[in-house]
Amino acid sequence: MNESRSAATAPAESDPVPLLLELVGTPSVSGDEETAARALVRWFKSAGFTAYVDDAGNAVGETGGADGPVIMLLGHIDTVPGILPVVREGDVLHGRGTVDAKGPLAAMAWAAARAANAGTAARIVVVGAVEEERESKGARHLIDRYAPDALVIGEPSGADGVVLGYKGILRLRYEVERPAAHTSSPEEKATEVATGFWSGLRDKLALFHPDAPFFEQALPALVGMSGDIERAVLDISCRVPPGFDTDGLLDWLTERARGGRITVVERTDAVRSSRTDPVARALTAAIRGRGHRPVAKVKLGSSDMNVVAPHWGCPVAAYGPGDASLDHTDHEHIDLRDYRLAIDVLTDALGLLTDTLGRVPVGAGEKAGASQ
């Protein structure tokens, strides 16, 4: 990793919208983010960051102090498939990624530049990670290369919202076979075994805190099914809350597989911070300082926060402009007033967080042997 850092300079433009326009206008479906990543790196360099595309394809920009606490701003530069026209109508920008999550990523880049220009002691690392919409390839690449003192995840929370937690996910495939039989035969058919497996799982999870808020419930979804008398396949996704006994559920399902095969496709535990977490407190104070009422939130989906936070164990929360209900839809758009407000909030929060963390030895936020 290159340890030298350029002196902070003001970005070439004073308006933060052109960066967002360029990122949204550059398609970057998961697995094909290189052009967008290089565009972000060019912007980083124009703003005085040390910047590069790392081995995983992440766009990385580093700025600020050389020996202060390390604050990572981790967003993602990929999007789900689906091209949407990029159209600006006054203070509304339409396009794929405006909300999920190029709006939050561009806001973090601008906030880092402003904090550096203000002389922050913190070393700020901004990452536009790849393949968050798949299996978080970019975030996983960072786990053994950094150990930040604080972490902000760039996801849409609304300019006045702070996300404290995300549910985990358990994705399964269940496959079962039965001998060929006539439809009039009393012998159990593969399709019947599969539907029984699904019904049992659904009934089992319905017992897990049924009267609690959705965030604290285990919620299964049957997302795919195919089959006939001889062979049936189910694809199941379970959103699980903090503290959920995933191993216990898998053991229970294995005992009731009835000769079928269970494959764990994805397993990610839930994650949650507290309202007193230093990152959450800094963001909350910054929102209030800008004249807005902060709202603490938890999300039923998952993010890169689930991937990196358990490994790093540092203060963490998620923040970014945009209405998360527009994620992945054909109506995705962002209010540019919220985008600008989010930049102000993040800039203020970086200052507050730096004061809270204090100074730490050089390199505490980067693990030995890290490389691009």
- Annotated catalytic residues are 78, 132
Dihedral class, residue 119 (left if φ above 0, else alpha if ψ from -120 to 50, else beta): left
Residue entry with tokens 């229970």? 252
Number of C-beta neighbours around residue 188 at 10 A:
15
DSSP symbols for 204-269 = HHHTSSTTS-GGGS-EEEEEEEEE-SSEEEEEEEEEE-TT--HHHHHHHHHHT-TT-EEEEEEEE-
CA 82 to chain centre: 19
For the chain, give me the number of helices (H) and strands (E)?
A: 9, 16
Residue entry with tokens 């360099």? 45
| Pair 130, 123: CB distance under 8 Å | no
Closest of 104, 55, 95 to residue 77, by C-alpha: 104
Residue entry with tokens 């790093």? 312
CA 119 to chain centre: 29
Instruction: Report the chain's terminal Cα–Cα distance, integer Å.
Output: 6
How far CA 315 is from CA of 109, 277, 305, in Å, comes to: 20, 6, 11
At 217, list the tokens. 């419930």
Contact residues for 185 (Cβ-Cβ < 8 A; gap 6+): none
Q: Characterize 203-236 residue by residue with b for buried, 16 or more Cβ atoms within 10 angstroms of its Cβ, and e for exposed.
A: eebeebeeeeeebbbbbbeeeeeebebeebbbbb
At 109, list the tokens. 């880049």
| Pair 97, 329: CB distance under 8 Å | no
Contact residues for 203 (Cβ-Cβ < 8 A; gap 6+): none
332: β partners: none
Which ranges in 134-189 belong to alpha helices (H)? Answer: 137-142
